[in-house]
Amino acid sequence: MTTLPTHTDKKLGLVIDLDTCVGCHACVISCKGWNTENYGAPLSDQNAYGADNNGTFLNRVHSFEVQPDEGAAQLIHFPKSCLHCEDAPCVTVCPTGASYKRVEDGIVLVNESNCIGCGLCAWACPYGARELDQAEGVMKKCTLCVDRIYNENLPEEDRQPACVRTCPAGARHFGDLGDENSDVSKLVAERGGMDLMPEQGTKPVNKYLPPRPKDAMPEFDVLAPFLEPVAEEPKGFLGWLDRTLEKL
């Protein structure tokens, strides 16, 4: 079995703002595109345009309608991918050492040449963040675009995960969550960032910013003053027309 490092130099991860995410799936498409063309085996699709379609994705967006105790119902869009946990059970169950956590940045990766597709890591992950690529027979997961963030051939603004670079709403943030002075750490502290399913004890690096409470539905009588007639009786041409039509 694979062992986890006792510490990591950094804790690179994502901070996802559930208040800002609009569920457009731009992050899903950009992730699929980048990871199909670059790192590891392509993310395959089976019968993509048929009724019984299937495919491999490293990032998915789920949508839920919730009803708070007070206020209007809210539609919450919930992106989910690997959370690069500090105590990653997917790593410790791997029988070949294919799953591992990097000491230098805390990213959890899969060495696909050693993966036998046994599925133990998917079984151990409480978040359902691993998928077996049916064409290649290997487990796939979010890599935090490790082939982008360190690529000096890219412009500096592009050295971040494809999903973060693509998000039109600015709902995804990338950085070192092990540095309390980093932008992402400050954002988590200011907004009360949360772990996903903390009771699992996996210590996920990725954090979620909770949606802000929405205002209650407005009372319709606030529009009443604007719906009142401008004058009690029309004057001028409109007054003449109104009196003429009344006689018909």
Query: Quick check: is 231 in a domain?
Result: no
The DSSP call for residue 248 is: -
* Three-state secondary structure call for residue 139: strand
Query: Quick check: is 30 in a domain?
Result: yes
Query: Quick check: is 244 in a domain?
Result: no
Query: Quick check: is 20 in a domain?
Result: yes
The DSSP call for residue 194 is: B
Question: What's the CATH number where 80 sits?
Answer: 3.30.70.20
Domain count, the chain: 1
Residues 6+ apart with CB under 8 A from 15: 172, 173, 174, 175, 177, 184, 187, 188, 193, 206, 207, 208, 209
Question: pTM for this one?
Answer: 0.82
CA dihedral over 89, 93, 97, 98, signed as positive or negative: negative
Query: Quick check: is 218 in a domain?
Result: no
Query: Quick check: is 167 in a domain?
Result: yes
Alpha-helical segments (H) within 70-153:
89-92, 120-124, 146-149
What are the φ and ψ backbone dihedral angles of 78, each rounded to 5 degrees? -120, 95
Query: Quick check: is 214 in a domain?
Result: no
Mind listing the pLDDT tens digit of every residue in the chain (248 residues)? Answer: 678 999 999 999 999 999 999 999 999 999 999 999 877 788 999 998 888 899 999 999 999 998 877 777 889 999 999 999 999 999 999 999 999 999 999 999 999 999 999 999 999 999 999 999 999 999 999 999 999 999 999 999 999 999 999 999 999 999 999 999 999 999 999 999 999 999 999 999 999 999 887 665 555 556 666 666 666 676 778 778 878 888 87
CA separation for the pair 13, 27 (Å, rounded): 15
Query: What residues make up the domain containing 176?
Result: 12-209
Query: Quick check: is 223 in a domain?
Result: no
